[in-house]
A and B are shown apart, each in its own frame.
Chain A
Amino acid sequence: MPSLGPDMESARVVEWLVKPGDAVRRGDVIVVVETDKGAIEIEVFEDAVVEALVAPLDTELAVGAVLARLRTKGESEHQASPDTPKAQALPVAPAPAFRPEPPSVSTARLDAGAPRGATDSGHQRASPAARKRAADLGLDLATLHGSGPGGAVLLADLAGLGGVSRGRRAGGFDAAAMRRVIGTAMARAKREIPHYYLGQQISMAAALDWLGRANENRSVEARLLPAALLLRAVGLALTKAPSLNGYYEDGAFRAGEGIHVGWAVALRGGGLVAPAIHDVDKLNIDALMSALRDVVARARRGGLRRSEMVDATVTVTSLGERGADTVQPIIHPPQVAMIGFGRIVERPWAVAGQVQVQPVIGVSLAADHRVSDGHLGSQFLSEIERLLNAPESL
């Protein structure tokens, strides 16, 4: 069981996407686990053949517990057989928060449980909330009829079953558990990170003008949102401010390998998750827009991947069109900076001695004083302003 964040202690396997004998390639999603942040897809880190699915379904497992045994190229079947005392943990990508524990504690218990549903060809899709509620009620999802996309079971489908009342607008996850996770991370941030905060108002006139013209020639599917421009500007500006991109761990700063921006997504029913969009500085505006749409959609319906949960080197929150004007972000440890955008709003704006009405956005930076200073932070915000005023360069 890989760690999906510094505060994660355990999770439950809810769905296997492979069975013994399957060949898997690095990056394939092989299992879905239910965490306090919803259902997360776990990718395999190397090419291998599945030897055995060890973890039983719907059982709380500690981080470090063995999920499955894989045979990598060159390993004989005997080496990786279940009789070998040295059971191999599911190899996952190295991540700052991943500290595997010896699997010995839980191995015996795990082996006792037959991997139910492992050979099921089709799995029942379900929203995380529905999955959780069904588990609470002891209902087997496979026996339920879903009304969601692809026959997915939604919370509403469980109404009336096991005495559940039809609750509208329920979140797609365990809101109380997520609140605890957020609380723990933010308390640690406030306790350990000496934040400094900077803010700047930036005219969005040039950016929105460019965006409007760009969208005129685009099909509906290819249209851009201001968020894509903001994300692009942050990615490019971070290439010039590497001390805002990375981690503070064990008393030292470690620069991020790549600029992977955690994009804060508000979830219905409360709570948020900030999945990583990888290599933001290397993606063009269209690729970024697609990545944003994809990651927001999967954050909401519970299909995020492990790498997206642990890879972010910095976080951006954009409050959107009905948000507040400004935000003072709280850094997500062990990261060292967070950038916040308020809503875009029309304001009087002085240009060459004249007052005009222009769309304006408030951008703010919270950064870790153990790693950088306000001077660098100011340069970073100025660079974002420069980029947004030259949108054709984005």
Chain B
Amino acid sequence: MNEQQIRAMVADALAEIAPEVDVGAVDDSSDLRQALDLDSMDFLNLVIALSQRTGCQIPEADYPKLYNLKNMAAYFAD
């Protein structure tokens, strides 16, 4: 999955979690939690949405790999 696709997937997932945020304005290496003011509940909901869309069970230990779009793309590329 390339970064373009990751962005689209994250934007789609966040539309339900935090409808008023703009993923397009986030740079690929900034921490999404800070950039979009996501709390732990928002972040968990994002992980759930990503898990459902990719069919990938994401262990809790991997959460730090999902903190920015660049690492996220690498994570789901595997």
Q: Are A225 and B25 closer than 8 Å at their CB atoms?
A: no
Interface size class of A (residues with CB under 8 A): 35 or more
- Of B19, B44, B51, the residue contacting A148 (CB under 8 A) is B19
Q: In the complex where A216-B60, A220-B57, A322-B34 touch, is A293 in contact with B41 (Cβ < 8 A)?
A: yes
Note all chain B residues with C-beta closer than 8 A to A127: 19-20
Count CB-based A-B contacts (< 8 Å). Answer: 68
Least CB distance, B56 to chain A, in whole angstroms: 9
Q: Are A172 and B19 closer than 8 Å at their CB atoms?
A: yes
CA distance A292 to B33 in the complex (A): 19
- Of A152, A223, A301, A321, the residue contacting B60 (CB under 8 A) is A223
- Of B16, B21, B58, the residue contacting A268 (CB under 8 A) is B21
- Of A152, A216, A227, the residue contacting B40 (CB under 8 A) is A227
Q: In the complex where A169-B20, A268-B20 touch, is A225 in contact with B40 (Cβ < 8 A)?
A: yes
CA distance A266 to B18 in the complex (A): 12
Q: In the complex where A220-B47, A223-B44, A322-B33 touch, is A300 in contact with B22 (Cβ < 8 A)?
A: no
Q: How many residues of B contact A (CB 8 A)?
A: 24
**Does chain A have a CB within 8 A of B6?**
no
Least CB distance, A231 to chain B, in whole angstroms: 12
CA distance A269 to B19 in the complex (A): 12
**Does chain A have a CB within 8 A of B37?**
yes
CA distance A296 to B42 in the complex (A): 9
Q: In the complex where A220-B51, A321-B39, A322-B33 touch, is A169 in contact with B60 (Cβ < 8 A)?
A: no
Q: Are B20 and A129 closer than 8 Å at their CB atoms?
A: yes
Least CB distance, B8 to chain A, in whole angstroms: 13
CA distance A223 to B52 in the complex (A): 14
Least CB distance, B30 to chain A, in whole angstroms: 14
CA distance A154 to B15 in the complex (A): 10
CA distance A321 to B22 in the complex (A): 22
Q: Which of B16, B17, B20, B58 has the most CB of A within 10 A?
A: B20
Note all chain A residues with C-beta closer than 8 A to B71: none
**Does chain A have a CB within 8 A of B59?**
yes
**Does chain B have a CB within 8 A of A320?**
yes
**Apart from A220-B58, A320-B40, 6 more pairs, CB < 8 Å:** A169-B20, A169-B22, A216-B59, A221-B48, A297-B17, A322-B34
- 23 residue pairs of the A-B complex, CB under 8 angstroms, read A127-B19, A149-B15, A168-B20, A168-B22, A172-B19, A212-B60, A220-B51, A220-B57, A221-B51, A223-B44, A225-B40, A225-B41, A266-B39, A268-B18, A268-B20, A269-B20, A293-B41, A293-B44, A297-B45, A300-B19, A301-B19, A320-B39, A321-B39
